[in-house]
Amino acid sequence: MERTMDFVKILQTLIRRIWLVIVVTVLFGLAGLVYTRGSVPNVYSAEASIYSVASGSYAASVQSTYIMKDYAEIVGSKKVADRVVNALPEYNLDAKLVQTMVRTGFSEDSAIFYVYAYSNDPALVISVANSAAEAFVLEVSNITGADNVKILDEADTVIVSYDGQREQLKTRLLFLAVGFLLICGIITLTAIFSTRVTKVDDCTLNGEIKLLGVIPKHSI
């Protein structure tokens, strides 16, 4: 017997079992609350920019920019991290923590190099971004013997790169949605594949065969 989707039947089944839909959705919502229990802190980021100064020809300027980008990994080095730790004793940092906080970026159409810092503390990210940029400039100068890498803009503001409360709410809503869709899907499949007769068309294959009679339900 071919199974067809009777949307009216499915809707009626969902309405009859609305209590089950509510219960399962609430249970998934509670699971989401448990999964995301506690406060989720925001993650802030700050940006300092560095540029390469080159006197002379355009080729010299381009070469200076490439040198700066080639040394980009220095920002994540222990030597730079140690400089940051020494420059910010009030935060009681360690080199490994600083290395996880600092990232770099480039501007493809200019000779600008960016140093980013990430942390739950907005004041800390500004200090780390600026200190890491200064340490990078010093290290490049020590390695190359040149003084053509300078700080363009120091970090002075922060942005919220990860909104903890919003992400927490999104996770909880996701749990609710999964619970609702899951139970509705199960009920829908149950209605489609059910062998229970609810109307005449179920017995006549939607009019393809004739119904000879009906045996009434009767208790003797």
First to last CA, the chain: 33
Give, in order, the Cα–Cα distances in Å from 138 to each of 51, 61, 128, 133, 186.
13, 19, 15, 9, 64
Structure tokens at 5: 């989707």
Q: Is residue 57 over pLDDT 70?
A: no
DSSP character for 171?
H
Domains along the sequence of the chain with CATH = 7-37+165-204 (no CATH), 43-162 (3.30.1890.10)
Q: Binning pLDDT at 50, 70 and 90, where does residue 125 land?
A: very high
Query: Is the CB of residue 117 less than 8 Å from the CB of residue 155?
Result: yes
Neighbours of 32 (CB within 10 A): 21
In percent, the amount of the chain with pLDDT more than 70 equals: 76
Q: Is residue 186 over pLDDT 70?
A: yes
Beta bridge partners of 105: 114
Q: Is residue 15 over pLDDT 70?
A: yes
